[in-house]
Structure 1
Amino acid sequence: MTSTELTRIPILDLSPEIDELWDELNAAVQRVMRSGHFIMGPDVLAFEEEVAAYLGVKHAVGVNSGTDALIIGLRALGIGSGDEVITTPFTFFATAESISSVGATPVFADIDPKTYNIDPAEVRRHITPRTRAIMPVHLYGNPCEMDEIMAIAEEHGLLVIEDCAQSFGARYRGKQTGTIGNVGAYSFFPSKNLGAFGDGGLLVTDDDDVAELARMLRAHGSRKKYHNEMLGYNSRLDTIQAAILRVKLPHIDRWNEGRRRVAATYNELLRDVSGIVTPELSEGHVFHQYTIRLTDADRDEVQKRLEEQGIGTMVYYPVPQDQLPIYEEKYSVQPQSALAAGQVLSLPIGPCLGRVEQVQVKAALKNALRPANVD
């Protein structure tokens, strides 16, 4: 069988969940269209109440994106010029960008090579008198070691804002990620475990004052329209997106469990493939990405050969944040982060991915690795 005869397997296929919920999604969108309430309509408030109940928090504030959730969260916590925020170098740029955007300085602490998450021991090493906060990222849907991070924060009087862009529904020792620190920030980008049909984000907190500030900041710094009290943003969650998220929210635990099943199957199928490291099926991990590490092969060449065989993959992330052009020569290289950036490869994932497709992925991967392995 040639590669053109094989079923192409994308990194993520959203069609199964859309097909499953088509009638409900269609009805929700039509309801909003007929209502005429497109900005901060009833579905926004309803979604905020429902998602707050799901997460177990007092306040949920819908915003325009996960990036805005981070920026508004930082500002609502009073973080700005002269402050340092410790975060991971190994994630998407929005994390450091949000810190820099509020006038603070990102400080990068290296990762644990097993989890790809920020290493608490490295966090401790980077604390200075200017440190105001820690921003852990629950990368790939895998919760960080929050007990250790919170202990460090308490010891040094630091704030914690959790970047949960990839971890909606993930739990750390029974608690939802995003509900452990002072603020949690989520993204509803369409590819996320809970995704909208466009941009969307959420900030959560149990702090009344932080929630009030966040609501002001998302609406041009005003409590009351045309009575602006501070410089804010135009960062409201669209009503249509909120309506779509309301339809999808009741299914998130089932979908996340599906992702865990897919990850478990991958681990089973790939355990006899040499030259790769598979992720642990750790407690609470919701596998936004299923990411392997290639230890004996040229990752970029392997990715190219997989694409030729119809297998979609992604590299999250090829350049650590601290080494991006915007921060060129401002930071020293964090060795574990740099090593991971050259080795990680994310395979197709999704709650509906079948074993047949995963067997095809394995076969293609073994074929792509053949020059570096003895079969």
Structure 2
Amino acid sequence: MSAPLLLPFTRPSIDEETIASVAEVLRSGWITSGPKVLAFEAALSEICGGRPVRAFNSGTATLEVALRLAGVGAGDEVITTPLTWVATANVILEVGATPVLVDIDPITRNIDLARIEGAITPRTKALIPVDLAGLPVDRDRLYALAKRHHLRVVEDAAQSFGASWNGQAIGSSGDFVSFSFHANKNLTTCEGGALVLPADVDPGLCERYRLQGFRRFADGGMDVDVLGGKFNLTDVAAAVGLGQLRHLHEFTERRRALARRYFAILDPALNLELPAQDFTNCNWHMFQPLLPAGTDRGAFIAAMRDQGIGVGVHYPALHLFTLYRGLGFTAGQFPHAESVGARTVTLPLFPAMNDADVDRVATALTRVLKP
């Protein structure tokens, strides 16, 4: 008997109109940053309440540049969560600052806002909250805390594009807001990201950090006045992003419908710990139950694959990685993040899935987990 066709945990939905627009860009001869990038930035700005938005070649680059624009550097501390993709903490190291980790709320799996004040020192310069799986951190409490302690905020909204808080799109308010458009995100440019800028930051300076610190003058002269990187988005990628934006609302609604079906049909006897049910703010970037304590996750993933179901892990607690152990972090420091990181699995959820696909995942879970 042949193996069942694999249902991956994610897959981008790119329509023929978008593919045609990419071909048009390739034929135009202008394939690096150009008119499509400008159009993409304008469209993103409209979603973000008219705020300045600049596109980048990755969400990681947007985080690094945001920290530089916020004046974060050597001697500073930046508070973030241990339950995120390692890029969130890596960029703090990249600018010469020190990452300070705060454990998560086990219900939301986002940084525990009640624990942050205990981690603030005179060296604390900024906060990087992460909207894990597309569930926004409580923005009201977050910004009240930041204001009390005069801290900059760099929202790691890599997973929450299309989500909202109190009816406002993520990115339409706040300080710096960083989005990722990686291939597995709710909106993709294949690789890419965008940074929403606060009113006190010069977009021109952001652009210089994005492209080698370079600036050009009307008389043909040029200069480099900051240490920038090579972070610009291509017009090819921007064309994909523009095509994706046409479907953003339907993508989000379909993800929510699929998540609702998971909640409705998963067997409680499996003893999975399900994520918080938020169908108002969350964009359902991922659907992540926690396995019962003591389950061999590697064996579970292999068994699900044998059933034709792709499963991901997002994310192990980052302070347990070798790099961060070398910085002095140890097991046991952040027990909630460690528990979730050790038991989390990412089940298939993407707009092209149908209800029968969710049913197939549920059936496979029962076969694999039920005694």
Query: 1:58-207 counterparts in 2 under 5 A?
Result: 58-197=51-190, 199-207=191-199
**Cα separation, 2, equivalents of 1:275 and 1:336:** 18
Q: How far has the Cα of 1:210 moved from its partner?
A: 4.3
Partner of 2:350, secondary structure, is coil
Query: Kindly tell me: are residues 105 and 181 of structure 1, through their superposed partners in 2, closer, same or farther at Cα, counting changes over 3 Å?
Result: farther
**Cα separation, 1, equivalents of 2:336 and 2:50:** 34
Which residue of 1 is the match for residue 210 of structure 2?
A: 218
Which residue of 2 is the match for residue 264 of structure 1?
A: 260
Q: Give identity over the alignment, percent.
A: 36
**Cα separation, 2, equivalents of 1:85 and 1:178:** 21
The one of 276, 283, 287 aligned to 1:290: 287
**Kept after mapping to 1: 8 A contact 2:126/2:154:** yes
Bigger CA drift: 39-48 or 153-162?
39-48
Query: Kindly tell me: are residues 346 and 112 of structure 1, through their superposed partners in 2, closer, same or farther at Cα, counting changes over 3 Å?
Result: same
The one of 52, 56, 67 aligned to 2:45: 52
Structure 1 counterpart of 2:329, one-letter code: Y
The one of 268, 272, 276 aligned to 2:272: 276
**Cα separation, 2, equivalents of 1:181 and 1:210:** 16
Structure 2 counterpart of 1:27, one-letter code: A
Partner of 2:229, secondary structure, is coil
Q: How far has the Cα of 1:5 moved from its partner?
A: 5.4
Which residue of 1 is the match for residue 318 of structure 2?
A: 321
**Cα separation, 2, equivalents of 1:213 and 1:108:** 29
Query: Kindly tell me: are residues 208 and 42 of structure 1, through their superposed partners in 2, closer, same or farther at Cα, counting changes over 3 Å?
Result: farther
Q: How far has the Cα of 1:84 moved from its partner?
A: 0.6
Bigger CA drift: 105-114 or 273-282?
273-282
**Cα separation, 2, equivalents of 1:244 and 1:311:** 28
**Kept after mapping to 2: 8 A contact 1:255/1:351:** yes
**Cα separation, 2, equivalents of 1:179 and 1:133:** 20
The size of the alignment, in residue pairs, is: 362
Q: How far has the Cα of 1:27 moved from its partner?
A: 2.6
**Kept after mapping to 2: 8 A contact 1:138/1:167:** yes
Q: How far has the Cα of 1:211 moved from its partner?
A: 2.5
- Which runs of no fewer than 5 residues in structure 1 stay unpaired? none
Q: How far has the Cα of 1:82 moved from its partner?
A: 0.8
Which residue of 2 is the match for residue 357 of structure 1?
A: 357
**Cα separation, 1, equivalents of 2:277 and 2:203:** 34
**Cα separation, 1, equivalents of 2:35 and 2:233:** 12
**Kept after mapping to 1: 8 A contact 2:48/2:173:** no
**Cα separation, 1, equivalents of 2:311 and 2:202:** 39
Please, what is the CA RMSD of the aligned residues?
1.6
**Cα separation, 1, equivalents of 2:304 and 2:244:** 32
Partner of 2:370, secondary structure, is helix
Q: How far has the Cα of 1:11 moved from its partner?
A: 0.9
Query: Kindly tell me: are residues 354 and 184 of structure 1, through their superposed partners in 2, closer, same or farther at Cα, counting changes over 3 Å?
Result: same
TM-score between the two structures when normalised by the length of structure 1: 0.93
TM-score between the two structures when normalised by the length of structure 2: 0.94
Partner of 2:179, secondary structure, is strand
Structure 2 counterpart of 1:204, one-letter code: V
- Which runs of no fewer than 5 residues in structure 2 stay unpaired? none
Structure 1 counterpart of 2:336, one-letter code: Q
Which residue of 2 is the match for residue 255 of structure 1?
A: 251
Structure 2 counterpart of 1:107, one-letter code: V
List per-residue Cα deviations over 1:328-373 (Å, max 9, x = no partner): 15124201000001111110001221121111111111111124xx
Bigger CA drift: 115-124 or 210-219?
210-219
List per-residue Cα deviations over 1:214-264 (Å, max 9, x = no partner): 111001112327411111011101111011111111211110110010000
Bigger CA drift: 55-64 or 187-196?
55-64
